Amino acid sequence: MKKLIALLCVLFLALSAAAASAEAIPGLEDGVLTVAMECAYAPYNWAQPNDANGAVPIKDKDGLYANGYDVMMAKAICEANGWQLEVVQLDWDSLIPAIISGTVDAVIAGQSMTPERMEVVDFAGPYLYATMVCLTKEDNPNAGAKGISELQGTATSQSGTIWYDTCLPQVKGAVIVPPAESAPAMLMAVETGTVDFVCTDMPTAQGALIAYPDLKLLDFAGSGDDFEVSDADVNIGISIQKGNTALLDALNAYLADKTADDFNALMAEAIKVQPLSEE
């Protein structure tokens, strides 16, 4: 009986500590971290019809579950802090406004930590380092390109990303067409031949190769003829409401001892279980 009472006391203290921690963080008084993402951006995040491979329910989306690198990271952060996780599905352009308005606590959605975004939100992280690459069809003339100066033809990328706003304008031989509304739409544009190539990041490209094996990944790193990007462009972070230092500190405390190898290993798990890899 004494052992049982001692065990109950330990559990009570642990729960009390978690509750006290949550109460100290604005927005987490209920102990729930509400995280927004597209749920349509594999391997970062996607929607699936079941809870296979650790997927979690999407709020207000009956029968749909979220999974992917972002979900895996969110689950690990919540477990470390004693929080519950709630995933909300939003369009890409609605993510930052949801943070500003306080509709959600955090966005974990493959966002780069750009100065423009940091003017309106705070970022924890990075929680991933992403290099810039291109995708083209194997039978496209661009498949043999050794650097961005050799790329030719029509190109696009996803709206509101550094891929479209920063990288593509560096390709002098590109005819840049209007951006795609989502990552899947971007990939479909190159797969169907609507454009000659697209610019994206390495994880998105690696996931795309599983879905579309007739695509070729063009990685110009080390060639001397690569995209010029800053650390802010390749550092992927977790955005939260500006001034919420308690949440910022809690997120950074979890990420502090994580290495690029840790992130890449988790991303490899996400790529392995993404739905398209099973087709």
Q: Which structural domains are found in the chain, ordered by start?
A: 2-129+233-278 (3.40.190.10), 132-220 (3.40.190.10)
Q: Which residues of 59-80 are buried (b: 16+ CB within 10 A; e: fewer)?
A: eeeeebbbbbbbbbbbbbbbee
Q: For 32-64, how does the pLDDT look when each residue is reduced to its tens digit (9 = 90+)?
A: 999 999 999 999 999 999 999 999 999 999 999
Taking the C-alpha atoms of residue 110 and residue 127, their distance in angstroms, rounded to an integer, is: 9
Ranges of residues in the chain whose predicted pLDDT is under 70: 1-23, 276-279
pLDDT given at position 229: 95
| Predicted model pTM | 0.86
Contact in structure between 216 and 134 (CB atoms under 8 Å): no
Measuring CA to CA, how many Å separate 241 from each of 100, 205, 253? 6, 30, 17
pLDDT given at position 220: 98
pLDDT given at position 7: 43
- Reading the block at residue 227, the tokens are 């995209």
Q: Residue 133 forms beta bridges with which residues?
A: 200
